[in-house]
Amino acid sequence: MSAQEQVRNWLREIGPLQLDENGVASLTYDETIQMVIEAPNGSPVFHLYATVSTPPGEGREAFYELLLKKNFLTLETNGATFAINERTGEIVLCYSQPADNLDAQAFKNLVGSFIETVEKWQERLGAPEDAGGEEESDGAEEPAEFGIRV
C-alpha cells in the first residue's frame, strides 16, 4: 500500500478529513493552527507542516539565528524543522515520516504531538523577547522532549 493510500485510510478514521487530488489535506485545530498533511503520489513519505510565526520587522538576524539554533539536531522541535514558506515568507514547522513505519494509532499520536509542538512554538515565537533573540535561561526550563511521540 502506498503512503498516500495509508494516509487516506488513517484520515478517514480521524474524521471527515480527506486528501485532495494532489494528496493534500488541511486541518484547523483550535482556530489557531492551520496544519497541512501532504502525501505526495508515489512517495513513501508523508509530511506535516504548519505556520508558527512571521519574521519580525526588526531583529531578523537574531530571529533567524534563534531558529537555526533550535533546529540543531531537532532536539527542541521534537524531530521537526523550521523553514521559510517561499510564497508567504512565514516560518513553518515541518515534519516528514515514512508511512510504512506507522499504524493508525501511531499516526494519530504523531499528529497530536505535532500539534502540541506547533502550539509551543507559536507561543514562544510570539513573545517579544523571543523574536529578538534567545532568552537567558535560569535553569528552571523543562527538559526538551526527544522526537515526536508515536
Question: Given pLDDT bands bounded at 50, 70 and 90, which one contains residue 101?
Answer: confident
Given a contact cutoff of 8 angstroms between Cβ atoms, the answer to whether 46 and 11 are in contact is no
For residue 94, pLDDT beyond 70: yes
Task: Report the Cα–Cα distance between both ends of the chain, in Å, rounded.
Answer: 20
Max mean pLDDT among 9-18, 92-101, 133-142 falls in 92-101
Domains of the chain (ranges plus CATH)? 3-131 (3.30.1460.10)
pLDDT in tens, 44-57: 999 999 999 999 99
Predicted pLDDT of residue 148: 52
> pLDDT tens for residues 65-78?
999 999 999 999 99
Helix 104-126 to helix 3-14 angle (10° resolution) is: 80
